[in-house]
């Protein structure tokens, strides 16, 4: 079936605006992850959802970042009052369950002017 | 806490050379999983291999091979007869099978294969 999809592929916004990034995981995958990758850097874990359990938010860099996952499927990452340092590629991944192989989406490139 | 170290930031080789990418991990758990991912210039991460802590058998897949050694906490990746298309950033990752544990990725090694 289809892989992980993310939208939009690119987002340019002005400092102070809110943005929403969407992730559609692979059907049947119960685990969903959000990562951030700054230019030339590694992956920074943001948040993790597993089934109906409370998400692991330990990686969120500030309270401006939040995420939800509705119906155990689609997830939305919201960044409020964006700052220039939020500019990065935001990657979503899903896996069948915890510790299983993660399959990544193409990412959303966020640019905050 | 888990940690993954990829000491090689960048490697350049000439086509057809063999190259080994190092990965050293740290965990106190006895059950864990190791992964390698490739990120080509297009940006999308591609899964290469998954290995659990109870299986130390080395694996070969075409020009790719992996050497897992628990004694040295290493999970190294070798590309034989490298090709230009192998140019990418390669990430090693670790996770443990506990609720709430996230994947820990190494910083990545940028491999450039020159023609």
Average pLDDT of the residues in A44-55: 86
Inter-chain touch B104–A45, beta carbons under 8 Å: yes
Going along chain B, which residue ranges are E strands? 3-5, 10-14, 19-21, 24-26, 32-39, 46-52, 59-61, 64-69, 74-79, 88-96, 104-105, 109-114
- What is the rounded average pLDDT for all residues in chain A? 91
Residues of chain B numbered 17-56 and touching chain A (CB < 8 Å): 33, 35, 37, 43-47, 50
Round to whole Å and give the CA distance between B92 and B107: 8
Q: Please give the share of chain A, as a percent, with pLDDT higher than 90.
A: 68
Counting beta carbons within 10 angstroms of the beta carbon of residue B42, is it exposed (0 to 12), middle (13 to 18) or buried (19 or more)?
exposed
Dihedral sign for Cα B62, B64, B67, B73, please. Answer: negative
At A98 the pLDDT is 74
pLDDT one-digit tens code per residue, B45-103? 999 998 989 888 888 889 999 999 999 999 999 999 999 999 999 999 998 865 445 67
Dihedral in degrees, nearest 10, Cα atoms B11, B14, B16, B21 = 0
Residue A2 vs residue B24, higher pLDDT = B24
Per-residue pLDDT, A68: 94
* pLDDT tens digits, A82-93: 999 999 999 999
Contact A71, A9 (CB under 8 A): no
pLDDT at site A71: 81
Determine which of A34, A99, A100 to mutate to test the interface with B (most B C-beta atoms within 10 Å).
Answer: A99
Three-state DSSP class for residue B70:
helix
Query: Are residues A20 and A110 in contact, defined by beta-carbon separation less than 8 angstroms?
Result: no
Q: Which of A11-15, A59-63, B77-81, B95-99 bottoms out in mean pLDDT, i.e. has the lowest?
A: B95-99
Q: Which residues of A touch B35 (CB under 8 A)?
A: 101-102
Say what the pLDDT of residue B100 is.
Answer: 47
pLDDT confidence of residue B103:
77
Question: Between residues 56 and 95 of chain B, which touch chain A (CB distance below 8 Å)?
Answer: 91, 95
Q: Is the omega angle on the peptide bond into residue A58 within 30 degrees of 0, that is, cis?
A: no
A70 phi and psi angles, rounded to 5 deg? -95, 135
Given a cut of 50, whether residue A45 has pLDDT beyond it is yes
Q: How far is CA A63 from CA A35, A91, B31, in A?
A: 16, 19, 33
Residue of A nearest to B47 (CA): A103
Residue of A56, A106, A107 lying closest to B102 (CB–CB): A56
């Amino acid at each position: 079936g289809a892989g992980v999809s993310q939208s939009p592929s690119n987002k340019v916004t002005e400092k102070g605006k809110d943005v929403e990034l969407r992730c559609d995981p692979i059907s049947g995958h119960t685990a969903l992850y959000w990562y951030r990758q700054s230019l030339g850097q590694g992956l920074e874990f943001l948040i993790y959802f597993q089934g109906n359990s409370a998400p692991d938010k330990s990686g969120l860099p500030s309270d401006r970042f939040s995420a939800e996952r509705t119906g155990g499927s689609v997830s939305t990452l919201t960044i409020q009052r964006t700052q220039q340092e939020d500019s990065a590629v935001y990657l979503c991944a899903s896996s069948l369950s915890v510790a299983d192989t993660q399959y990544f989406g193409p990412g959303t490139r966020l640019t905050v002017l | 806490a888990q940690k993954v170290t990829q000491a090689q930031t960048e490697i350049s080789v000439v086509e057809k050379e063999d190259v080994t990418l190092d990965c050293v991990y740290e965990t106190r758990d006895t059950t864990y999983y190791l992964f390698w991912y490739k990120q080509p210039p297009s940006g999308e991460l591609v899964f290469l291999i998954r290995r659990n802590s109870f299986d130390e058998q080395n694996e070969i897949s075409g020009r790719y091979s992996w050497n897992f050694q628990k004694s040295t906490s290493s999970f190294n990746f070798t590309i034989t007869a490298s090709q230009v298309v192998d140019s990418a950033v390669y990430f090693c990752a670790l996770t443990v099978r506990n609720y709430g544990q996230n994947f820990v990725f190494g910083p990545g090694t940028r491999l450039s294969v020159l023609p």
